[in-house]
Amino acid sequence: MAYSLDNLALIAGSNGTSGRVWKYKEAATLAAIRASGYFNDAVDAGMVDGDVVMILGSDGFGFSQIAVSGSTYTVGEGLTSA
């Protein structure tokens, strides 16, 4: 599956600052969702370097921090249930 803005929601923090918490739910595996570049289009929602995303995937859930290098968004391994 591919990233969809419809599956992303800001659940804590305010726009324009890092350290916010997001929720992303999709019927893909955690490994697929955590792939480098998966969240590149999340810039449209305001996601920035240092934000945390709670990922709900088909094989479990986890919390990861977003790292941005240039225009590539990478999701760290973080905590996971899978």
The yes-or-no verdict on residue 82 having pLDDT over 60 is no
The Cα–Cα gap between 79 and 77 comes to 7
- At 4-50, the pLDDT tens digits run 899 999 999 876 666 899 999 999 999 899 888 898 888 888 888 88
| pLDDT at residue 53, as a whole number | 92
| pLDDT at residue 8, as a whole number | 94
CA 42 remoteness from chain centre:
8
For position 62, which CATH number holds?
2.40.240
Instruction: Look up the domain containing 54 and give its range.
Output: 5-80
pTM: 0.84
What's the total number of domains in the chain? 1
